[in-house]
Chains A and B, each alone.
Chain A
């Protein structure tokens, strides 16, 4: 019997009342997707919320850009009609059961079958604490993704983003929000009358670094949204402090600090409280992002007079230019395998999400948008979340690298921007 301790922790989170939910819609769906059927879960006992599991999994798989996940009319109990699913050209069948065993605890069973070989690919039973339903559905979605594709999914993860709303007097309210990877369970962790920028999760998912203007200038703060620890304000000199990026160790943060007008990238250690300078050029150096192994940073600089992207190897100290295509390339973020950078690339008058292969320097423009911003990879590298405009309103967009399928996340009456994606849960 598996007992997931993490699920009990998370159940507390789920019991809180929801804030304004992001509306999620799939914009462009390609045909050549993995066809699977996810039958409604059989519910044994009084576990009404259990019926949701199959819907959550189905939505997750469809959003990933890898699957065409359909419902079935009937609950699968013990006999599987493989012929029927073969005729309908479905490759895999997934079904499950949720069974109440006490007032707070229930068992979840899941079965994955290959429709053509008629063989079981995976089955498991998990004991779950009450109200951890969404979390278990995300956990199972990751399992299914792995069993069918041999790759990790990015479902049991969190997003952070900033919403901006304006009241009828034109007064703006900025909210730093966190949510599940599907936009559910949104929670406000910081609310301010002043702009909030660049929130980003530490790899252990316990900390968020972000930029706040609450003291009438940009400063970087680290907060602990789930712990009773006071926020930390990172050092600044006489100008801006901004653009935080976590080292994978979760202790060090790269950030931009202006000293006597010169904006450079520094490394701050939260434990030793020591600051180390990483760049020294007189030009603007900002938007640092750590490589997944922590051994280099990519950053934006106008040192040649043009805005371009550079990579500094922190072991040798060598800085090399990464972008050679176009007159404006900025805001680099490493893919989880460290081989690519998602960047913002200017095409004519437009600023578009692009993917740069670091070794070959091949650049692929990913969208036709006018003003893409703030890209961030899903932890499995399969998707990129970024901010863009739709009908003059700021929204979030998730693009599947596999087939360019786009999922849009919007909020009624609010602008949504500055997304980032957490690592996997512990």
Chain B
């Protein structure tokens, strides 16, 4: 069950920060084979994957411009923008430009349809799973248990989780519009935060103070040079130096740090330009 839980929390924040889509296979172990059996090829897990930012949302302004009015009306309805449509008596679209603008804007937002599907997904989970998600999302205080440890406010908790996800998405959108960089870069084998980086971190600190419900995940990365395990440690130290600055604002309880070392490069070339892009800490709100 815990795999599914991580999956949902993962998808919700991923949709909010426009990171690449995820497909969870999860590791599968050969824990139930006969002792005389050898390991066989492991098949994909049939885990359900909740894709909130899927292909349906992937229209650019150019692509929308190329569509007919009828197609635009269709998409606007799908995206829950029906009330924004202005049609004449024959059903012809009168505010084409406005709709295109609205669609582009809505692209990275969690729309009502996806909120609904997230709700459905949460409803299908057990109480224990819901409790685990709520704890991971910092909603411990919303959990009401009886003497036997049974969940008493299932409906409420689901609502709070969906609201929390929507709030994180809104906040991320706001952050994006504010122009505050969500990635900081580092020198080779270095974790130092310079003055410019400090200013960016302070802006994030202000943002977090203005949005008391969002939580931050700092993801540390390294370039491919040097050994993988050392780089894993280095990536963590980079994220920790950012966290240290946020700690000055008493925000450390809302910040978690993870390191991917050199395993998640954004640039795959083997040159200085790519390495510079890969030595980084990413701010991911959830």
B234 at the interface (CB under 8 A from A): yes
Partner of B258, one of A217, A242, A344: A217
B35 touches A328 (CB 8 A): no
Chain B window 247-283, contacts with chain A (Cβ cutoff 8 Å), 1 for yes, 0 for no: 0000000000111110110000010000000000000
A389 touches B270 (CB 8 A): yes
B217 to chain A, nearest CB (A): 9
Q: For residue A154, which residues in chain B have a CB less than 8 angstroms away from its CB?
A: none
A187 touches B27 (CB 8 A): no
A interface residue count range (under 10 / 10 to 19 / 20 to 34 / 35 or more): 35 or more
B66 at the interface (CB under 8 A from A): no
Tell whether A242 pairs with B229 under 8 Å between CB atoms, given A178-B39, A307-B189: yes
Tell whether A344 pairs with B227 under 8 Å between CB atoms, given A13-B38, A223-B30, A240-B259: yes
Q: For residue B44, which residues in chain A have a CB less than 8 angstroms away from its CB?
A: 191
Total contacting residues, chain B, CB less than 8 A: 48
The stretch among A49-57, A144-152, A227-235, A359-367 that forms the contact with chain B is A227-235
A190 touches B260 (CB 8 A): no
A250 at the interface (CB under 8 A from B): no
A189 touches B260 (CB 8 A): no
A216 touches B6 (CB 8 A): yes
A195 touches B260 (CB 8 A): yes
B10 at the interface (CB under 8 A from A): yes
Residue of B nearest to A176 (CB): B27
Chain A window 366-389, contacts with chain B (Cβ cutoff 8 Å), 1 for yes, 0 for no: 000011011000000000000001
The stretch among A74-82, A98-106, A207-215, A266-274 that forms the contact with chain B is A207-215
Q: For residue B27, which residues in chain A have a CB less than 8 angstroms away from its CB?
A: 190-192, 194, 196, 212, 214, 221
The answer for the CA separation of A64 and B30 in the assembled complex, in Å, is 33
Tell whether A197 pairs with B226 under 8 Å between CB atoms, given A189-B30, A216-B10, A284-B234: no
The stretch among A22-30, A89-97, A115-123, A255-263 that forms the contact with chain B is A255-263
The answer for the CA separation of A389 and B232 in the assembled complex, in Å, is 20
**Which residues of B in the span 224-247 have a Cβ within 8 Å of any Cβ on A?**
224-230, 232-234, 236-237, 240
Per DSSP, chain B at the interface is loop
The answer for the CA separation of A189 and B44 in the assembled complex, in Å, is 13
Tell whether A263 pairs with B236 under 8 Å between CB atoms, given A190-B29, A195-B260, A216-B6: yes
The answer for the CA separation of A260 and B257 in the assembled complex, in Å, is 11
B33 at the interface (CB under 8 A from A): yes
Residue of A nearest to B34 (CB): A228
The answer for the CA separation of A231 and B264 in the assembled complex, in Å, is 25
B210 at the interface (CB under 8 A from A): no
A18 to chain B, nearest CB (A): 9
The stretch among B16-24, B74-82, B83-91, B98-106 that forms the contact with chain A is B16-24
B37 at the interface (CB under 8 A from A): yes
Residue of A nearest to B33 (CB): A228
**Which residues of A in the span 100-159 have a Cβ within 8 Å of any Cβ on B?**
none
A84 at the interface (CB under 8 A from B): no
Residue of A nearest to B29 (CB): A231
The answer for the CA separation of A284 and B229 in the assembled complex, in Å, is 11
Chain B window 40-81, contacts with chain A (Cβ cutoff 8 Å), 1 for yes, 0 for no: 111010000000000000000000000000000000000000
A19 at the interface (CB under 8 A from B): yes
The answer for the CA separation of A212 and B224 in the assembled complex, in Å, is 18
The answer for the CA separation of A373 and B26 in the assembled complex, in Å, is 26
Q: For residue A195, which residues in chain B have a CB less than 8 angstroms away from its CB?
A: 260, 263-264
Q: For residue B37, which residues in chain A have a CB less than 8 angstroms away from its CB?
A: 12
B255 to chain A, nearest CB (A): 11
Q: For residue B225, which residues in chain A have a CB less than 8 angstroms away from its CB?
A: 351, 371
Partner of A192, one of B26, B224, B234: B26
Tell whether A392 pairs with B232 under 8 Å between CB atoms, given A192-B26, A193-B23, A223-B30: no
A240 touches B40 (CB 8 A): no
Partner of A392, one of B10, B259, B260, B270: B270
Residue of A nearest to B263 (CB): A195
A188 at the interface (CB under 8 A from B): yes
Q: For residue B32, which residues in chain A have a CB less than 8 angstroms away from its CB?
A: 228
Tell whether A226 pairs with B39 under 8 Å between CB atoms, given A192-B26, A193-B24: yes
Residue of B nearest to A192 (CB): B27
A159 to chain B, nearest CB (A): 14
B28 touches A191 (CB 8 A): yes
B26 touches A193 (CB 8 A): yes
The answer for the CA separation of A356 and B10 in the assembled complex, in Å, is 44
Tell whether A228 pairs with B31 under 8 Å between CB atoms, given A198-B228, A261-B237: yes
**Interface of B with A (CB < 8 Å)?**
3, 6, 10, 20, 22-42, 44, 189, 224-230, 232-234, 236-237, 240, 257-261, 263-264, 270
9 additional contacts, CB 8 Å, given A286-B229, A344-B226?
A188-B41, A198-B228, A212-B27, A225-B39, A258-B236, A261-B236, A263-B237, A300-B229, A344-B227
List 17 interface pairs A-B (beta carbons < 8 Å), by A numbering.
A12-B38, A16-B38, A173-B25, A187-B40, A193-B22, A193-B24, A193-B25, A195-B264, A197-B263, A214-B3, A228-B31, A228-B35, A239-B257, A256-B233, A328-B226, A330-B230, A373-B227
